[in-house]
Structure 1
Amino acid sequence: MSESNQRARRTCVSCGINISGTNAAAFKCPDCGAQIYRCAKCRKQSNLYNCPDCGFEGP
């Protein structure tokens, strides 16, 4: 998959919006290491998120 296609598929794991070109955070799941993306709004509000791979829940 090309890098541009990967960017297009990046969505916030908390609210589901497309985070391409925004001030979003990308980090690895503390449990399984899967890549997780969160938008600035969800990070600021400390919305919960679930890892799509292992189900880990974090603030």
Structure 2
Amino acid sequence: MSTIEEQETRSCVSCGLNIAGTNAAAFKCPDCGQQIYRCAKCRKQSNLYECPDCGFTGP
């Protein structure tokens, strides 16, 4: 997948919002290392997230 395609498919793991071009956080799952993206709103509200690969949940 190209970088442009990857940016277009990024979505918040908590709410599903397309986060391309927004102030979103990108980090690796503490358990398995899968890349996770969260939008600014979900980060600010401390919404729970779940890793799509291993099921790890965090605030």
TM over 0.5: yes
Alignment deviations for residues 7-43 of structure 1 (CA, whole Å, 9 cap, x no partner): 0010000000000000000000000000000000000
DSSP-derived class of the 2:26 partner: strand
Question: Counterpart of 2:19?
Answer: 19
RMSD of aligned residue pairs (Cα, Å)? 0.3
Question: Counterpart of 2:54?
Answer: 54
Rounded to whole Å, the distance in 2 between the matches of 1:17 and 1:38 is 9
DSSP-derived class of the 2:7 partner: helix
Rounded to whole Å, the distance in 1 between the matches of 2:36 and 2:2 is 19
Q: Which runs of 5+ in 1 are unaligned?
A: none
The Cα shift of 1:6 comes to 0.3
Normalised TM-score (structure 2): 0.99
Normalised TM-score (structure 1): 0.99
* Runs of at least 4 residues off by over 3 Å: none
The Cα shift of 1:47 comes to 0.1
